[in-house]
Amino acid sequence: MTSTRHFALIPAAGVGARMGADCPKQYLPLAGKLMMMHVLDTFASSPLIEHTFVVVSAEDGYIRDALASAGHLEKRVSVLFNGGETRHQSVLNGLKAVREQVADDDWILVHDAARPGLTVELLERLVSALREDAVGGLLALPVVDTLKRSDGFGRVAQTVAREALWAAQTPQMFRYALLRHALEQAAAVTDEASAVEALGLRPRLVEGSPRNFKVTLPHDVSLAELHLKGNS
């Protein structure tokens, strides 16, 4: 009986408007190489990952040049030029495109191209925790700050209890058939776990790391460089 495999799927069709850069943020230079290359190198370095698929827009003019100088990734990474307008659409389009290469029970690890702080150790932690799980799950961090809900006018309307609250990270890891079904059934969602939750299932939370944060705003770049250069 063939054991299940693990595939990475990187939705990277976004333009990163909040970054205000001249190119999509995943192609910004960061600690010596492009941001997305940190992600691809991490997955390529893990013996747990069978292959990595990157989903970009049909008009993407950066990915070929980015990979041209990375010969070590030639057999480890495939590019899919069928990204959608949303993350939801890009992931679903990617799943459909790899149908012939991935079995229903194989695991898909969906990861943000703008989370360059992912490590092989975090991948191992996630895969190990979910190996026998019937649903799947995601890396996440327990919320430690006091949370305030705004009234919409810059004032506090309510303090929100932080107990049992977690901040979602990626990868989010589910079996191919379940994830595709969940995304096909869901309305617009901002992460894969939300789609799985909508089926009435409860994904498992696996503790991640502060270094695995999402680069969203300009000042995030400097923080990401500190983590990457310090390997913290």
pLDDT digits (tens, 9 = 90+) for 28-47: 999 889 999 999 999 999 99
Q: What is the pLDDT of residue 88?
A: 97
- 152 CB neighbour count, 10 Å cutoff: 7
- pLDDT tens digits along 85-138: 999 999 999 999 999 999 999 999 999 999 999 999 999 999 999 999 999 999
CA distance 183 to 75: 28
95 or 23: which leads in pLDDT: 95
Domain 6-230, CATH 3.40.50.720 — does that match? no
Residue 221 tokens read as 């770049």
For residue 90, give the H/E element and its range.
helix 87-97
pLDDT band of 1, cuts 50, 70, 90: very low
- pLDDT tens digits along 182-207: 999 999 899 999 999 999 999 999 99
Question: Helices marked H in 98-133 — which ranges?
Answer: 120-130
For residue 176, give the H/E element and its range.
helix 176-185
CA distance 150 to 139: 27
pLDDT band of 157, cuts 50, 70, 90: very high
**CB burial of residue 131 (10 Å; 0-12, 13-18, 19+):** exposed
Query: Is the per-residue pLDDT at 173 higher than 60?
Result: yes
Residue 190 tokens read as 């901002």
What are the E-state strand segments in the chain?
6-11, 29-30, 33-34, 51-55, 77-80, 107-110, 137-142, 147-150, 156-160, 166-175, 204-207
Residue of 114, 63, 110, 116 whose CA lies nearest to 90: 110
Amino acid identity at 42:
T
- Left, alpha or beta for 146 (phi > 0: left; psi -120 to 50: alpha)? beta
